Amino acid sequence: MAHVSVLLNEVLSAIHPQPGQFIVDATAGGGGHAKAIAERVKPGGKVLAIDWDAQELGELKDELRREGYDNVILAHGNFKNLSEIARKNNFPAPHAVLFDLGFSFWHIERASRGFTFQKDEPLDMRYDPTDATRPTAEQIINSASKEELAGILREYGEEYSARRIAEAIAEYRKKAMIKTTGQLAEIITKVKYRRGRAHPATKTFQALRIAVNEEFENIRHGLRSAQGAARPGAKIAVITFHSLEDRIVKNIFRDWQKDNFGKVLTKKVIKPTREELISNPRSRSAKLRVFQLL
């Protein structure tokens, strides 16, 4: 199954790319949004597509070459440094910036870095595995205290069983290191019962991924960087996938409006249509918010 870009039509409608414009896709991923935007900014326009994962970016580079997209510039980096990345690539002040904060289907199916509990993989969870300064999920799981683990699960996963899970992890560590997703998922399922459709380990895996990659700080820095890089009148569009990151974006946009940096264009958040939910069930939690700078 290929990665399907979420809220694609809604994004195109919101940022309204035009021939000759320069637009940043801060989260290139599988390239769906970048390609659609690239088609619409021809002739004369360009897309700067940024991704933190060099391996996924390499695959996208090959795909773009095969399909003849010559107006997409690829850049490896963390979007928190968006302004610096644009400057290094001599990219003009953008007319729009897009952030799609969902991790791609590629990371679940092919990265083999522990993003999913559906396979038994090493507990890495770094988007950039070349970054030796960033701790892996395995290091956090095996070195953090019970209290620290419970705090991570509560803050980044809103996990109601945080303490019970943290205690189970600490108890298991007395016998052996926790190295794989299979081990961790099994520990969790023994102390937390399934409620509804979600797997008992879902929130723990989310919390660890966010902690490993410092995702919330990246969002805050990335939006500020986009604001500084963009031209007057530019639109900044953000797709979120859970309430915690959506709250961050909503509050930043509200504060920008209060400080007269521009206006929120999405008084009511944009969600997938019924048709999209049927064709792509993974889109069910997606929300799009858009801000226009003065």
- Give the annotated binding-site residues: 31-33, 51, 79, 100, 107
Q: How far is CA 131 from CA 121, 126, 163, 212, 275, in A?
A: 19, 8, 30, 11, 40
Count the alpha carbons within 13 Å of 1 in the hemisphere toward its beta carbon.
12
Q: How many CB atoms lie within 10 A of CB 145?
A: 10
Q: How many CB atoms lie within 10 A of CB 149?
A: 25
Q: Phi and psi of 263, rounded to 5°? A: -140, 150
Residues 82, 234: contact at Cβ < 8 Å? no
Q: CB neighbours of 69 closer than 8 A, spacing ≥ 6?
A: 35, 38
Q: Phi and psi of 51, rounded to 5°? A: -150, 145
- Residue whose token pair is 């199916």: 109
For the chain, count helices (H), then strands (E). Answer: 13, 7
What does the alpha-carbon distance between residue 293 and residue 270 come to, in Å, rounded to a whole number? 19
Q: How many CB atoms lie within 10 A of CB 42?
A: 14
Q: Phi and psi of 104, rounded to 5°? A: -80, 160
What does the alpha-carbon distance between residue 25 and residue 31 come to, in Å, rounded to a whole number? 9
Q: Which residues define the annotated binding site for S-adenosyl-L-methionine? A: 31-33, 51, 79, 100, 107
Q: Which long-range contacts (CB under 8 A, 24 or more apart) does 164-169 make?
A: 164/191, 164/192, 165/191, 165/192, 165/204, 167/191, 169/141
